[in-house]
Amino acid sequence: MRITRFWIIQILIIASLFSILIGSYLFSFGWFANKPTLEQQAEFSPPASVALTEPTPALAPTRSATCSTAEGIPSLSDIEDSLGSHDTERQASCFSFLQAESMAGDKGAELWLGRAYHNGWGVAKNLAEAANHYQQAATADDAATRDSARQWLLQLQQEQRQP
């Protein structure tokens, strides 16, 4: 049986597509990642006298004192963690960041300032100021921010009605 040029090209195309598929699968699971060699691992291994059961304070992860990130845009969980933390320096830093963003016209920052005043995060609890920030955020162009601000304002009004 004679194989024509057409079938040879078809087989080569299928083989190359198959190798691309397998390669992308292996890359996605990190099989070709830059893994340290045994010599590099030996350089970073702790001495035998160090107990590995308790982390040393120098190796313990630390949180930054602000809710802003290196890019300048914190995630929602960073903002909530910073405002809700018991670290007053972190709360104050995040609150001042949100105030600056609010003055720049960010309605999402207005919403978070309302939540800060509503819950007493980093500032004294002030429901009137919270309502003011919620109303400012309710004028946002973004539907999610606008709807969230309206829901928080409604919840605040319900809390004020209850004794």
For 35-86, what is each residue's pLDDT tens digit?
A: 555 555 455 444 444 444 444 444 334 444 456 545 567 777 778 777 877 8
**Per-residue pLDDT at 131:** 92
Write out pLDDT tens, residues 81-128.
Answer: 778 778 888 888 888 888 888 898 888 889 989 988 988 888 888 999
Tell me the two tokens of residue 22: 């397998």
pTM of the shown model = 0.56
Distance (Å, whole) CA 159 – CA 149: 15
How far is it between the farthest Cα atoms of the chain? Answer: 93
Rounded CA-CA distance 48/52 in Å is: 9
Number of helices and strands in the chain (H, E): 7, 0
For residue 23, the model assigns a pLDDT of: 82
Alpha-carbon gap, residue 132 to 141, rounded angstroms: 17
